[in-house]
Amino acid sequence: MNFTTQMNAAKQGLITKEMQIVAAKEKMEVTRLRELVAEGKIVIPANKNHTSLSPEGVGDGLRTKINVNLGVSKDCCDLALELEKAKSAVALKAEAIMDLSCYGKTQKFRRLLIDTCPVMIGTVPMYDAVGALDKELKDITVDEFFQVVETHAADGVDFMTIHCGLNRATAEKVKRNKRLTNLVSRGGSLLFAWMELNGQENPFYEHYDRLLDICAQYDVTISLGDACRPGSINDSTDAAQIEELIVLGELTKRAWAKDVQVMIEGPGHMALNEIAGNMMLQKRLCHGAPFYVLGPLVTDIAPGYDHITSAIGGAIAAANGANFLCYVTPAEHLKLPDLNDMKEGIIAARIAAHAADIAKGLPGAREWDNKMSAARADIDFPKMIELAIDPDKARTYREESAPESEDTCTMCGKMCAMKNMKKILNGESICIK
């Protein structure tokens, strides 16, 4: 088959091996999947150089996917630990890993991830620019920015977050409309600073076609970053956020014209009552492109518990059209997450994603829940543990508090509703003293 990207193949009416794999995973007709890829409503991030990939689809009609962030910083530079996190993330059924390393020479770790991980790999090249080039931000040239992007693409990265929508007009909007938390996007704030220090336009906006050519060459899905995502519920749905979203919609069409796959990134921090409206705005302004959200976190007061604030918002967002959830850990806003933080974040995000899939009426989404309910009705604790989203935790809880009778738990004992109803409906007597 002769094609440049998954979207290019789909537009030609070709069905790629990646489409076949995704269709089988999703129980979707492959011809329908191909149509949605051609329309840009589904993406299959699959860099030609990521040979270990087991492809996944992100978009309408598919299971809500989750992403795990990891990577080293200057204060926590333990590559072995980050690799262990990556292996755990795959075992915990995350569909994507983003390497957000922002210190030192990161290519060795990035290549190791790509060579060994079957899940989608994403990066933010802007994070890597200072370390990879060994230069101060102000002194990095436009060509050097694109050099870093092409290096990531050649290494096999499946999707890249690039903040193309933060042009000088949007930056002025940020300055004129004071926020409580300014810009909290790391990549976005670095680009904002570069633009201010050099008095130049965002290179990824000004030379967007050059970026698209790189993405098309390697079939990198561009994840159009939200530099103006709200970092507090006070700043959500403001002028800067909406201005950038309009620009991202325009950039989406330009990418599709070059057969480059696109995802759109979204908030952030946002009150519950604004989430559904924001999802509708994104889908409308960005022409149905898949939406990738960080959270949204529905309150700002819960450091140490932001996996919960994020899961609440993520479930609502995905139920209203978001397709891809970026996990948030209990360590958010406080430190680099450890292995346990990562696990807590993954499980919370998976719960949110599954709850949303039920709400969206995704075929088969309720089957897992119905199996669990049947096991509970049968008082089959081994089966309940097997079906649990986190079997290890369920097993530990069961083992650390042993009941008098194996067909009860220490919460209800002989008053167990499941046990007693089953006996009574079978015509048996019960004894609860």
pLDDT of residue 403: 85
Q: How far apart are CA 352 and CA 56, in angstroms?
A: 19
pLDDT of residue 423: 84
Q: Is 277 annotated as contributing to ligand binding?
A: no
Burial of 425 (0-12, 13-18, 19+ CB in 10 A): exposed
Q: Do the beta carbons of residue 159 and residue 220 sit within 8 Å? A: yes
Handedness of CA 101, 102, 104, 110 (dihedral sign): positive
The upper half-sphere exposure of residue 99, i.e. CA atoms within 13 Å in the direction of its Cβ, equals 30
Paired tokens of 262? 């696109």
Asked whether residue 368 is domain-assigned, the answer is no
Q: Is 187 annotated as contributing to ligand binding?
A: yes
- State the average pLDDT over residues 101-117: 86
Residue with more model confidence, 317 or 3: 317
Asked whether residue 2 is domain-assigned, the answer is no
Q: Is 73 annotated as contributing to ligand binding?
A: no
Q: Is 333 annotated as contributing to ligand binding?
A: yes
Asked whether residue 36 is domain-assigned, the answer is no
pLDDT of residue 271: 98
pLDDT of residue 367: 97
Count of domains for the chain:
2
Q: How far apart are CA 302 and CA 304, in angstroms?
A: 6
- Which H or E run contains 29? none
pLDDT of residue 255: 98
Residue 262 has what DSSP assignment? E
Span 252-297, pLDDT tens digits: 999 999 999 999 999 999 999 999 999 999 999 999 999 999 999 9
Identify residue 395 by its one-letter amino acid code. Answer: R
Q: How far apart are CA 34 and CA 53, in angstroms?
A: 19
Asked whether residue 30 is domain-assigned, the answer is no
Q: 312 and 165 in one domain?
A: yes
Q: 313 and 242 in one domain?
A: yes
Phi-psi region of 321 (alpha: psi -120 to 50; beta: other; left: phi over 0): left
Q: 345 and 411 in one domain?
A: no
Question: For the chain, how far is it from start to end, CA to CA, in angstroms?
Answer: 73
Asked whether residue 197 is domain-assigned, the answer is yes
pLDDT of residue 189: 96
Q: 182 and 60 in one domain?
A: yes
Residue 431 has pLDDT above 90, yes or no: no
Asked whether residue 27 is domain-assigned, the answer is no
Phi-psi region of 159 (alpha: psi -120 to 50; beta: other; left: phi over 0): beta
- Domain containing residue 420: 380-425
Span 47-74, pLDDT tens digits: 999 999 999 999 999 999 999 999 877 7
The lowest-confidence range among 51-55, 126-130, 141-145 is: 126-130
Burial of 399 (0-12, 13-18, 19+ CB in 10 A): exposed
Span 161-172, pLDDT tens digits: 999 999 999 999
Q: Helix (H, G, I), strand (E, B), or coil: what is residue 230?
A: coil
For residue 417, what are the CA distances in angstroms to 118, 373, 405, 427, 430?
Answer: 44, 13, 14, 15, 11
Percent of the residues in the chain that have a pLDDT greater than 70, as a whole number:
100
Q: Is 98 annotated as contributing to ligand binding?
A: yes
**Which of the four pLDDT bands, split at 50, 70 and 90, describes residue 429?**
confident
Alpha helices by DSSP H, 96-202: 107-116, 125-133, 142-155, 168-176, 186-198
Span 323-365, pLDDT tens digits: 999 999 999 999 989 999 999 999 999 999 999 999 999 999 9
Q: 317 and 399 in one domain?
A: no
Q: Is 228 annotated as contributing to ligand binding?
A: yes
Q: Is 117 annotated as contributing to ligand binding?
A: no
Q: Is 265 annotated as contributing to ligand binding?
A: yes
Q: How far apart are CA 262 and CA 259, in angstroms?
A: 9
Q: Is 416 annotated as contributing to ligand binding?
A: yes
Those residues whose C-beta lies under 8 Å from the C-beta of residue 398, and which sit 6 or more positions away, are 381, 385, 409
Residue 6 has pLDDT above 80, yes or no: yes
pLDDT of residue 76: 67
Asked whether residue 66 is domain-assigned, the answer is yes
Q: Do the beta carbons of residue 41 and residue 288 sit within 8 Å? A: yes
Other Cβ atoms within 10 Å of 24 Cβ, number: 11
Q: 352 and 394 in one domain?
A: no
Q: Is 229 annotated as contributing to ligand binding?
A: yes
Q: 392 and 335 in one domain?
A: no
Q: How far apart are CA 235 and CA 380, in angstroms?
A: 48
CATH code for the domain in which residue 68 is found:
3.20.20.540
Q: 300 and 401 in one domain?
A: no
**Which of the four pLDDT bands, split at 50, 70 and 90, describes residue 422?**
confident
pLDDT of residue 107: 87
Q: 173 and 141 in one domain?
A: yes
pLDDT of residue 80: 83
Q: Do the beta carbons of residue 64 and residue 323 sit within 8 Å? A: yes
- State the average pLDDT over residues 80-93: 92
Identify residue 420 by its one-letter amino acid code. Answer: N
**Among 237, 234, 324, 318, which Cα is nearest to 285's?**
237
Q: 264 and 183 in one domain?
A: yes
Q: 403 and 326 in one domain?
A: no
Q: Is 244 annotated as contributing to ligand binding?
A: no
Q: 340 and 401 in one domain?
A: no
The lowest-confidence range among 101-110, 116-125, 210-219 is: 101-110
Mean residue pLDDT of the chain comes to 94
Span 372-388, pLDDT tens digits: 999 999 999 999 999 99
Identify residue 75 by its one-letter amino acid code. Answer: D
Span 187-206, pLDDT tens digits: 999 999 999 999 999 999 99
Give the global pTM.
Answer: 0.95
Residue 324 has what DSSP assignment? E
Asked whether residue 353 is domain-assigned, the answer is yes
